[in-house]
Amino acid sequence: MMSSLILIFWLLQVPKFFSSIIFNISRCYYIITEEFHHEGDVLIGAFFPLHTFYTGKKMPNSAVPYKYLDNYIQYNFKNYRYILALLFAIEEINGNPNLLPNTSLGFDFYNVRFTEKDTLDNVFIWLSALVQRNYLPNYNCKKRTFTAALTGTSWKTSAQIGTLLQFLKFPQITFGPYDPLLSDHSQYPSLYQMSPRDTSLSLAIVSLMVHFRWSWVGLIIPDDHKGNKILSDFREEMERKGICIAFVKMIPETWNLYFAKFWENMDETNVIIIYGDTDSLASLMRNIGQRLLTWNVWVMNIEHHVIDTADYFMLDLFHGSLIFKHHYRENFEFTKFIQTVNPNKYPEDIYLPKLWYFFFKCSFAGINCHVLANCQTNASLDILPSHIFDVAMNDESRNIYNGVYAVAHSLHEMTLQQIQMQRCKNGEGMVSFPWQLNTFLKDIEVRDKKSLGWRQTIDEEYDILNLWNLPKGLGLKVKIGSFSVNAPQGQQLSLSEQMIQWPEIFSEVPRSFCTESCGPGFRKVTMAGKAICCYKCTPCADNEISNETADVDQCVKCPEGHYANSEKNNCFQKSVSFLAYEDPLGMALASIALCLSALTVFVIGIFVKHRDTPIVKANNRVLSYILLITLTFCFLCSLNFIGQPNTAACILQQTTFAVAFTVALATVLAKTITVVLAFKVSFPGRIVRWLMISRGPNYIIPICTLIQLLLCGIWMATSPPFIDQDAHSEYGHIIILCNKGSAVAFHSVLGYLCFLALVSYTMAFLSRNLPDTFNESKFLSFSMLVFFCVWVTFLPVYHSTKGKVMMAMEVFSILASSTALLAFIFGPKCYIILLRPEKNSFSHTRKKKTHSKRKIFPKI
């Protein structure tokens, strides 16, 4: 119980303890003024933002204790590099006997509070050379020689000061980012921008996006003319490279207007581009730190204020960020100079005591806030961590350095030419008019060979830095690549990917896309009302491929003779295929054809051996021989359809098939007509008797054959069959087959065969009941019916199949129709000859004839 009371009492005393510390700090910082003077014959006015005054009594939220000294003042010690760069350049110039001899440069420093009234107040005070703020316009109390004003970091500050100075044509040099608005010579005739143009920044950043295949990125820009201009540049470059903007966030001047809305949809992408100057992005960086946005890769154009937040967090939210900055040569002399800076060396500097107090634990000596005690003897700014104070020269520091040299060279040229120089009445020295420097500032060049005129154009080269700040406080900015506009196409961007450290949430190179990339075998299809980066993937069509890893708009059709694999990412050579004898189907059909041919030859042998028997004689022995021989050729002609086709085989396929079947059907027709003439004519006339005696029906065979030969001749003469390729019927194969040539001729030949079969069937049907001993009319009619059905069925089936199956279908039809003729016409005869020989005798024949005559002539 007692320990709890002691703890509560101690906690109640903590606010009093901190308030006493804040009171002592505030007392010293209010005693020390905001501005100071560095002596010189000719003075430069320096207007830099080093600290900001707050009117409210509530201390702003911050995770960095050393930034906030009391309830009213917020210091940014990183900007102290601006003063050091100015001091470094002035000491170099004053120590150079060949530049401005007998004349020294100095400067008056004034803090910029980010309010227009205070900024213009400081300019009037400087021009009037007053200690107090009771300035008199167009009047210089101390008769100081002013030469130029050095302003920055934001374009707003430079524009505010420039609006005043342009009335006096007073030279003004800005060291902040280049702004096209300030390059308007009609509005700001004496303003010169030291920073190079950012004409290639959008190209450089988009090239990085293309390299890492980031197609879905966010963009955060200030809500001003610069933001609108860079947005236009980014959109133009991204459209050319196929990159889409996921969202555009305009940084408001007053965050309270739509604070919550600004952060909506921020998680739609892994990569966010931040563009702006240090002033416009200060609040944004602070808010990002407060919201702990850890899942993004930040791509920025500035390095200032990106590692100033959340010191007590191990994880830095901007670790792994990529920063684009203009390429400059390192100035190692500047680092050596910073090592020598201390409050004793520059007693007029009001900021050095504050730096030493906070970072080196010095104490103010009594009520005199300029005097320090208990300091380390070896204290130097270069030993501070880079996230607190970076001794390297950044873009703004370098621009200040170059701007001071531009003024010095201009003064030197003006002194040499003795233009408009006059002595003061009190004889203190030479006095010049500042506006006279404008002529020289437009044409002078500094050691970096950059033109300082308002119409400057510079070929840009960017260094790409990677921020290493894990653990927090490491604060390294490592160069991992560069971008050069003048490099050959495809070589402008140079990266060392193995050196890049990404945010801790990513274990590999981050990916940023609206839709997962369409892999090989797919193509992208845009969706209506969506960005081009938001699409769906659809498989390539048949025989088309896409083998690229990136998204493709169209699949590529495989060349002729090639086919797409199942993954549709590669084309392979098709193998040649045809109805070969080695094929199981071809082998089966060939075996059947040979067996049936052998069977037909066996039947011929039976008929020849029993040629004198009644059954052979009764059915017209000669026609039977012709039909059997023809059927043998019909079976064998099917072999023309098997094997690799050639021109001769293609022609023989159709001609032998057509002629052989024509002879067979004509023979059957001759047999049926012979039976009809013999039994249907009761009183035969001379012509019928002559036909019977001279065997006239046998002439049907050559007549019908000649007609078919004529059709085949016309076919072969006009559009003969030829070798063709079928690349679509069988996957991965090119089927070589015979094209019929003229479809009309082929169907005419087939139709002629069907016509003969129909006529033969009709004649046989009419003679089916004649009382002949061995009447074969029934068998003839049934064989013709089967023949007719086979070929009528063949047509639709043939046209519905392709490739080898089409050829096999035709072979099957030939074999089936020939087998029908052989089986139904000669099967019963062979049965009687071989198995019922008693029926194949003359006595049996006489009995049959007598019985038949009684039926036909019962009353004779």
Residue 545 φ then ψ, to 5°: -135, 160
User: What is residue 324's predicted lDDT score, i.e. its pLDDT?
Assistant: 92
Q: What is the mean pLDDT of residues 36-53?
A: 84
Coil, helix or strand for 229? helix
Q: What is the mean pLDDT of residues 220-225?
A: 88
**H or E element, residue 160:** helix 155-168
Q: What DSSP assignment string belongs to 538-560?
A: EEPPTTEE---SS--SS-EEPPT
* pLDDT 10s digits, 56-73: 444 444 433 334 444 456
Rounded-to-integer distance, Cα 615 and Cα 836, Å? 11
Highest mean pLDDT pick, 33-37, 296-300, 515-519: 296-300
162 C-beta neighbours (distance < 10 Å), count: 22
Q: For residue 504, give Cα distances in angstroms to 273, 321, 795.
A: 19, 11, 72
Lookup: tokens for 723: 């070798």
* pLDDT 10s digits, 479-517: 999 999 888 888 899 999 999 999 888 888 998 888 888
User: What is residue 769's predicted lDDT score, i.e. its pLDDT?
Assistant: 63
* pLDDT 10s digits, 449-464: 444 543 344 557 899 9
On the question of pLDDT at 597 being above 80, the answer is yes
| Whether the Cβ atoms of residue 525 and residue 535 lie closer than 8 Å to each other | yes
Q: What DSSP assignment string belongs to 96-116?
A: -TTSSTT--EEEEEEE--S-H
User: What is residue 550's predicted lDDT score, i.e. its pLDDT?
Assistant: 65
Architecture in CATH of 37-198+331-344+388-441: 3-Layer(aba) Sandwich (3.40)
Instruction: Indicate whether this model's pTM tops 0.85.
Output: no
User: What is residue 134's predicted lDDT score, i.e. its pLDDT?
Assistant: 57
- By C-alpha distance, which of 267, 479, 505, 276 is closest to 285? 276
DSSP E strands: which ranges in 606-755?
722-726, 733-739
Of 3.40.1410.10, 3.40.640.10, 3.40.605.10, 1.20.1070.10, the CATH number of 584-856 is 1.20.1070.10
Query: Pseudo-torsion of CA 736, 740, 741, 747, nearest 10°?
Result: -160
Q: Residue 8: which pLDDT band, with cuts at 50, 70 and 90?
A: very low
Lookup: tokens for 160: 């505010």
Lookup: tokens for 604: 């011929």
Lookup: tokens for 194: 């030291």
**Adjacent-strand bridge partners of 575:** 733
* pLDDT 10s digits, 94-148: 999 888 888 899 999 988 876 677 777 778 778 776 555 555 565 555 556 778 9
Lookup: tokens for 326: 């203009």
Q: What DSSP assignment string belongs to 742-773?
A: -HHHHHHHHHHHHHHHHHHHHHHHHTTT---T
Among the residue ranges 291-305, 744-758, 766-780, the one predicted with the least confidence is: 766-780
Residue 657 φ then ψ, to 5°: -60, -45
* pLDDT 10s digits, 632-664: 998 998 888 888 888 888 888 888 888 988 888
Lookup: tokens for 350: 């009001």
User: What is residue 470's predicted lDDT score, i.e. its pLDDT?
Assistant: 75
On the question of pLDDT at 244 being above 80, the answer is yes
Q: What is the mean pLDDT of residues 561-571?
A: 85
Name the segment(s) of the chain with CATH classification 3.40.50.2300: 37-198+331-344+388-441, 201-329+460-499
Rounded-to-integer distance, Cα 386 and Cα 395, Å? 16
Rounded-to-integer distance, Cα 46 and Cα 86, Å? 8
* pLDDT 10s digits, 356-404: 887 887 877 666 666 677 787 788 888 887 777 888 888 888 899 999 9
Q: Residue 211: CB partners within 8 Å, gap ≥ 6?
A: 493, 495
Q: What DSSP assignment string belongs to 39-96?
A: --SEEEEEEE--EEE-SSSSPPP-S-GGGB-SSSEEE-GGGHHHHHHHHHHHHHHHT-
Rounded-to-integer distance, Cα 832 and Cα 838, Å? 8
On the question of pLDDT at 832 being above 60, the answer is yes
Greatest Cα pair distance in the chain = 177
Better-predicted residue by pLDDT, 642 or 52: 642
Q: What is the mean pLDDT of residues 227-231?
A: 89
| Whether the Cβ atoms of residue 722 and residue 651 lie closer than 8 Å to each other | no
Q: For residue 276, give Cα distances in angstroms to 179, 284, 596, 776, 796.
A: 11, 10, 93, 107, 76
| Whether the Cβ atoms of residue 177 and residue 324 lie closer than 8 Å to each other | no
First to last CA, the chain: 154
Lookup: tokens for 676: 């009809």
- By C-alpha distance, which of 588, 696, 604, 683 is closest to 642? 588
Q: Residue 549: which pLDDT band, with cuts at 50, 70 and 90?
A: low
CATH topology classification for 201-329+460-499: Rossmann fold (3.40.50)
Name the segment(s) of the chain with CATH classification 1.20.1070.10: 584-856
- By C-alpha distance, which of 577, 596, 576 is closest to 812? 596
| Matching residue, tokens 């100095």 | 106
User: What is residue 315's predicted lDDT score, i.e. its pLDDT?
Assistant: 63
Q: Are strands 722-726 and 733-739 parallel, antiparallel or unpaired?
A: antiparallel
User: What is residue 846's predicted lDDT score, i.e. its pLDDT?
Assistant: 52
User: What is residue 337's predicted lDDT score, i.e. its pLDDT?
Assistant: 93
On the question of pLDDT at 568 being above 60, the answer is yes
DSSP E strands: which ranges in 437-561?
461-468, 476-484, 493-495, 522-526, 535-539, 544-545, 556-557
Helix axes 155-168, 116-128, angle to 10 degrees: 40
| Whether the Cβ atoms of residue 65 and residue 169 lie closer than 8 Å to each other | no
| Whether the Cβ atoms of residue 279 and residue 156 lie closer than 8 Å to each other | yes
Share of the chain above pLDDT 70, in %: 77
Q: Residue 84: CB partners within 8 Å, gap ≥ 6?
A: 334, 337, 338, 341, 397
User: What is residue 596's predicted lDDT score, i.e. its pLDDT?
Assistant: 92
On the question of pLDDT at 218 being above 90, the answer is yes
On the question of pLDDT at 11 being above 50, the answer is no
| Whether the Cβ atoms of residue 219 and residue 205 lie closer than 8 Å to each other | no
Residue 284 φ then ψ, to 5°: -60, -45
Lookup: tokens for 659: 């002629």
User: What is residue 10's predicted lDDT score, i.e. its pLDDT?
Assistant: 35
- Residue 777's Cβ-count burial label (10 Å; 0-12, 13-18, 19+) is buried
Rounded-to-integer distance, Cα 704 and Cα 630, Å? 14
In eight-state DSSP terms, residue 802 is -
